[in-house]
């Protein structure tokens, strides 16, 4: 060992005690000093690597460039890694590659240029990061699943209304068809009228298909994807689905859409519709026992450049003040057949959209739920 600093006892002690690996090499990459942490990390005996080229500790892609880096640095002073630090990878004796943080210092002395590399092993940190990422993916998947189950359960609660909504066109179709047969069998068959009946049948079949399409769309499994969506279109579409439930309970829905026809929000469309449907259904259900006009007002508003708001206003029974705080809790319900998951899911969906969901009592009767969504500023569909 001819390196002059090694004679320094305290320096040797420091090398031995260091937790991070320390390697000193000359300008051609020949290793002059390797501390115990380094031999342990790379899995070599000290004698196996002393005097060898440092490239043996690098993956091939780096090791090809190594000589070039060194030469380039020494000639131009241009820094890629020397004097700086960066995350890179190392290769162990068993050829396994591991993540590390490498900082390299330049030591100028009488013999010429030497380099000291300090290596911090990142294996554990990377594993933790991977685990964290894995957990996040799992949580997202669970949220997707939960939201999906909740959508199905919402549709389940609407099943009577949905059945009715499909039964109506079916009734019209079968009545027209049976009437047509009677007309054709009688002497008084009138082609114009029969033709009109066939057209009605086609229209009613289309109507039934649309109901089914809307439900199928709402019930399908999706991967959450935030993208620019037309706010008014999203809300009108889901309102037409809610209409089914409203009709069943004798409630009318009134849509007050923003005067910005292309108000775009950056959202997962189905999830936002799920939130709106939950709030509308709750509003409808709050009026089961109401006597006077049962009306739900659904409004879309552009609050500012970055924020859109959707609100659902009812004139129902409201909720006892003492219970208001629990409303958003999972499984809190005051309905005999309620699940109590609606508002809890709404809150988690809106939070994942960086929005806020609010509740307020109306001055006269019932309450208003509203939530904000980020607009897709600067993006045009």
Partner 1 sequence: MTEPSVFIVDDDKSVREALLFLMKSVQLNASAYASAKEFLTLFDPDCPGCLVSDIRMPGMSGLELLQELQQRNSQLPIIFITGHGDVPMAVGAIKNGAEDFLTKPFRDQELLDCINTAIDKDKQLRSKKDAKDAIIRRLSSLTNREKQVLDKVVAGKANKVIAADLSLSHRTVEVHRSHVMEKMQARSLAELVKLIQLVKQEQN
Ligand X SMILES: Nc1ncnc2c1ncn2[C@@H]1O[C@H](COP(=O)(O)OP(=O)(O)O)[C@@H](O)[C@H]1O
User: Residue 211 and residue 169: Cα distance in Å, rounded?
Assistant: 10
275 binds ligand X (CB under 6 A): no
Of 269 and 316, the one with the shorter C-beta distance to ligand X is 316
Nearest one of 196, 202, 205, 197 to 169, comparing CA atoms: 205
160 binds partner 1 (CB under 8 A): yes
User: Residue 213 and residue 80: Cα distance in Å, rounded?
Assistant: 58
Of 98 and 332, the one with the shorter C-beta distance to ligand X is 332
Strand duo 112-121 + 97-109: pairing: antiparallel
Residues of this chain, 198-237, that bind partner 1 according to CB under 8 A:
200, 203-204, 207
Number of residues that bind partner 1 (CB under 8 A): 30
315 binds partner 1 (CB under 8 A): no
User: Residue 118 and residue 20: Cα distance in Å, rounded?
Assistant: 7
Residues of this chain, 308-347, that bind ligand X according to CB under 6 A:
314, 316, 318-319, 327, 332-335, 338-344
Q: Tell me, residue by residue from 64 to 83, as one string, x for binding to partner 1 by CB under 8 A and - for no binding.
A: --------------------
Of 180 and 348, the one with the shorter C-beta distance to ligand X is 348
Q: Tell me, residue by residue from 169 to 198, as one string, x for binding to partner 1 by CB under 8 A and - for no binding.
A: xxxxxxxx-xxx-xx--x-x----x---x-
Nearest one of 86, 93, 52 to 69, comparing CA atoms: 86
User: Residue 118 and residue 115: Cα distance in Å, rounded?
Assistant: 10
Of 29 and 316, the one with the shorter C-beta distance to ligand X is 316
Of 98 and 328, the one with the shorter C-beta distance to ligand X is 328
Q: Which DSSP state fits 333?
A: -
**In the 3-class helix/strand/coil scheme, how is 336-356 assigned residue by residue?**
CCCCCCHHHHHHHHHHHCCCC
- Residue 171: contacted member of partner 1, Mg ion, ligand X, none (CB under 5 to 8 Å, by partner type): partner 1
User: Residue 181 and residue 370: Cα distance in Å, rounded?
Assistant: 52
């Amino acid at each position: 060992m001819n390196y002059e600093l090694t004679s320094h006892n305290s320096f040797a002690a420091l090398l031995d005690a260091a937790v991070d690996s320390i390697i000193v090499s000359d300008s051609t990459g020949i290793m002059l000093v390797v501390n115990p942490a380094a031999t342990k990390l790379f899995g070599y005996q000290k004698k196996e690597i002393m005097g060898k080229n440092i490239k043996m500790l690098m993956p091939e892609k780096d090791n090809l460039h190594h000589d070039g880096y060194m030469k380039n640095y020494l000639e131009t002073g241009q820094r890629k890694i020397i004097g700086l630090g960066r995350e890179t990878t190392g290769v162990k004796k068993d050829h396994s590659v591991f993540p590390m943080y490498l900082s390299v210092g330049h030591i100028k002395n009488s013999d010429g240029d030497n380099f000291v590399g300090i290596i911090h092993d990142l294996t554990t940190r990377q594993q933790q990061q991977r685990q964290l990422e894995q957990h996040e993916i799992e949580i997202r998947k669970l949220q997707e699943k939960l939201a999906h189950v909740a959508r199905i359960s919402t549709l389940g609660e609407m099943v009577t209304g949905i059945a009715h909504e499909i039964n109506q066109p079916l009734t019209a179709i079968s009545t027209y068809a049976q009437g047509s047969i009677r007309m054709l069998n009688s002497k008084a068959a009138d082609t114009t009228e029969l033709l009109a009946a066939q057209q009605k049948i086609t229209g009613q079949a289309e109507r039934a298909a649309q109901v089914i399409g809307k439900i199928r769309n709402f019930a399908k499994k999706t991967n959450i994807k935030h993208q620019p969506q037309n706010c008014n279109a999203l809300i009108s579409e889901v309102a037409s689905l809610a209409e089914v439930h409203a009709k069943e309970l004798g409630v009318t829905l009134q849509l007050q859409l923003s005067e910005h026809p292309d108000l775009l929000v950056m959202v997962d469309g189905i999830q936002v519709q799920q939130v709106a449907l939950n709030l509308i259904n709750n509003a409808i259900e709050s009026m089961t026992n109401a006597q006077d006009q049962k009306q739900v007002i659904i409004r879309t508003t552009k609050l500012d450049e970055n924020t859109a708001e959707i609100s659902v206003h009812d004139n129902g029974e409201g909720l006892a003040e003492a219970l208001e705080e629990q409303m958003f809790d999972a499984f809190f319900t005051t309905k005999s057949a309620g699940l109590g998951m609606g508002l809890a899911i709404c809150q988690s969906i809106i939070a994942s959209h960086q929005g806020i969901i609010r509740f307020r009592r109306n001055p006269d009767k019932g309450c208003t739920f509203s939530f904000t969504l980020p607009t897709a500023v600067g993006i045009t569909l």
